[in-house]
Structures are given as C-alpha cells and as structure tokens.
Amino acid sequence: MRKIAAHCLMAVTALAGAAAPVSGLAEDKATGLSLELNNLARSEAGCLATFMVRNGFEQPLEKVAFEIVLFNAQGLVDRLMVLDFSPLSTGKTRVRQFDLAGADCADISRVLINDAAACDAKALPATACLDNLKTTARPEVEFGS
C-alpha cells in the first residue's frame, strides 16, 4: 500500500513539475507588447511588410505607433517612417501590413525600432510600449530596438 502511495506521489509531483513551465509561458505571453516582422514580399509599389502585433497589457491601447528605420544591404539608412498599429484590444493579436513604396525587399538588411511615436492607454506610462516590447522576425532580417 505504501509503495502504491509513493508511486502516486511521484506521479503527481512529476505532473505538477511538467505543468509549471506551461503556466510560466502563458504568463510571459500575457505581458507587454509583442511585435513580429512576419514577412517581406514584393508588391507593385515596392515591398509589403507584414507584422503581427499582440497586446498583452491589461488594458487596450488606443494609440500605438513605432518609428521604424530601414537599413539597406550595405548597412546604410534607407528610410525612417512611423508605422501605426492602433488600436489594440487587450489580449488580441492583429496583422498589420504596410506597403513600403520604392523599397526593394531583397535589399532590406535590418529593421530598427527607433522609438515609440505613440503609446496611449489609460493606466500606462508613455514609455510602456517601448519598455515592454518583445520583437521577433521570420525573414532573415535583423529586427528590434
């Protein structure tokens, strides 16, 4: 009987340990703002940049925009622009596309988030979007701040 109880206790302990990382990941995903450079594709105007953005803050963002800098293959600044991702509901993931007129996708080596041009929510400081930003990129392009 004690042997069965010991095995049950070990199984419960193992299951609890296995569940801990999953809940930790959920908590990480639920905080801040995540921005993914999902794709760069040729368009009639130039290059279509596709982003996925997720608001993990506890309140909606009425206004969120980032000043973005594109670098060419030689590492030189190609252009500076502001991309508006507004509005963002709490916990919502959205896809935003921006047609970068005259840009050649193959020539973009880096996308720098230079600053948060706007970050408006009722209970967040203006610096919250940049301070709590997590970036990822799917194309072979350096992306982040």
SS3 per residue for 56-78? CCCCCECEEEEEEEEECCCCCEE
78's CB contacts (< 8 A; 6+ apart) are 70, 71, 72, 103, 107, 108
Together in a domain, 2 and 47:
no
Together in a domain, 40 and 99:
yes
**What total of structural domains would you count in the chain?**
2
Confidence of residue 98 (pLDDT cuts 50, 70, 90): very high
In which domain, by residue range, is 21 found?
A: 1-30
Together in a domain, 38 and 24:
no
Q: Could you report the per-residue pLDDT of 41-70, keeping only the tens digit for each?
A: 999 999 999 999 999 999 999 999 999 999
CB burial readout 18-30, b (16+ within 10 A) else e: eeeeeeeeeeeee
Together in a domain, 81 and 138:
yes
pTM: 0.76
Residue 33's beta-bridge partner residues? 55, 133
pLDDT at 9 over 80: no
Together in a domain, 4 and 63:
no
Question: Strand, coil or helix: what is 114?
Answer: strand
Together in a domain, 63 and 119:
yes
